[in-house]
Copies of this chain bind each other. A is one copy, B any other.
Amino acid sequence: MRLEPINLHDYEARAKELLPYNVWNEVESGAMDEVTTRRNRTALEALVLKPRLLRDVQHRDLSTTILGTPVSMPVFVCPAGGHKIAHTDGEKATAQGAGMSGTIMVLSTGTNYSIEEVAEVATGPVWLQLNHRSKDLSQMLVRRAEEAGFKAVCLTVDSPVPVPQERSIRNRYDHPFERANFRGMNVKTGATVSATGDPFAWRPDAARLTWEEIDWLRSITPLPLVLKGIRGPEDALLAVEHGVNGVLVSNHGGRQVDMTLSSIESLPEIVETVNGRLELYLDSGIRRGSDVLKALALGVRAVGIGRPLFWGLAVGGAEGVHGILEILRKELDRAMAFCGQTSVQHLERGIVGIPRTWGLGEYDF
């Protein structure tokens, strides 16, 4: 009998066996030379845990709240468009998997099942991820999310222009399923340009997105607003000043602009700047419970996973997504015990050590 996957690497390996070559590469690839995608992992592995011992860690509490919504653990499912490439139930399965694990799923704008279809089957809290194309479209999506009972709006702010994933261009990859939120609307969306250069593709107008739209979004909905893709303290500070509720520190898994810092390297300066005035989250490269613990100890409230949700879907649909989340839960729980921590809401900063050679410095001779 084949062993169940025991870590996320196993899910990744099995998904690679199961998915078509071009889908696999679309999921795995990063932008350009994928330097940032690799850096997300090397930076996380270079951070060290500094365990505290001989404490009563029999009872460990992983539950927390994210913008007031209770979750069973500080790990959520990041937005990613078009889950049908990995499983026929697509985002419906993902939502169910997240719900089974008692955590949030962030539903993309460019999904294969619509806001309403997902809401109907979701058993846990859902957020709407928004690619802003125009005020009309955004308002329509936000209204539908409100009606569907979604808990927050998460606006992607790091995609002013499309970045082709070079692996997908080589594979002439084009997303094969409809973008369900726009069914019958004669538009196509999607943050990436189709590899075949489909002339009917609705071109994103995201290059005009500014803080003015942030203010406008704040004005049209009572839902909390999260910005996804912030990479530095200056923009995090502006988010504070514009009344944003949460910031997802993310480099999009290295899928947008290559050659940036890893998300985790960006984090400490952002934490210091924000100083608790909004909630911080992080994604890009999370593969182990110890990664979750490191990010939490450095100051985020929760972390998100992206590529792994496709691995879970490919391996087992909703159960696979749930399986991925439960492995992270178990690993985080264990890492907390080893580090003498009993609550994700009260972690000691001192359990994480930053390498001397990490990050940026001054340049002087």
Contacts and interface: CB of A to CB of B under 8 A. Distances in A.
Interface of A: 3, 6-7, 32-33, 35, 45, 47-58, 157-158, 160-161, 163-164, 166, 169-170, 172, 205, 207-211, 214, 229-232, 234-235, 238, 256-261, 268-269, 288, 290, 294, 331, 333-335, 337-340, 350, 353-363, 365
Contact of A55 (B169, B210, B359): B210
Nearest 10 A/B pairs, CB to CB: A356-B361, A257-B338, A353-B360, A58-B207, A161-B337, A354-B363, A160-B337, A259-B290, A53-B157, A49-B259
26 contacts: A3-B169, A6-B169, A6-B170, A48-B261, A49-B257, A52-B235, A53-B158, A53-B160, A53-B230, A54-B157, A54-B235, A56-B207, A56-B209, A57-B207, A58-B207, A158-B338, A160-B338, A161-B337, A163-B334, A163-B338, A257-B334, A257-B339, A258-B288, A259-B290, A354-B362, A356-B360
A45 B259 CA distance: 7
B359 A211 contact: no
A3 B173 CA distance: 13
Given A53-B158, A54-B157, A54-B238, A47 B259 contact: yes
A225 to B, nearest CB: 13
A51 B356 contact: no
B360 A48 contact: yes
Given A166-B6, A358-B361, A58 B208 contact: yes
Contacts of A258: 288, 290
A355 B230 CA distance: 20
B170 A54 contact: no
Nearest to A238: B54
A211 B55 CA distance: 7
Given A55-B210, A257-B335, A356-B361, 16 more contacts: A3-B170, A3-B172, A6-B169, A45-B259, A47-B259, A53-B157, A54-B214, A54-B238, A158-B338, A257-B339, A258-B290, A261-B353, A354-B363, A355-B361, A356-B360, A357-B361
Given A53-B231, A55-B210, A365 B359 contact: yes
Contacts of A50: 231-232, 260-261
B354 A359 contact: no
Contacts of A234: 52, 350
Nearest to A170: B3
Contacts of A57: 160-161, 207
Contact of A161 (B208, B338, B358): B338
A232 B338 CA distance: 13
Contacts of A6: 164, 166, 169-170
> A45, A50, A56: which has the most chain B beta carbons within 10 Å?
A50
B358 A365 contact: no
Contact of A53 (B235, B288, B340): B235
Nearest to A266: B50
A56 to B, nearest CB: 5
A228 to B, nearest CB: 10
Given A210-B55, A238-B54, A354-B361, A32 B48 contact: no
A54 to B, nearest CB: 5
B365 A269 contact: yes
A48 B260 contact: yes
Nearest to A232: B50
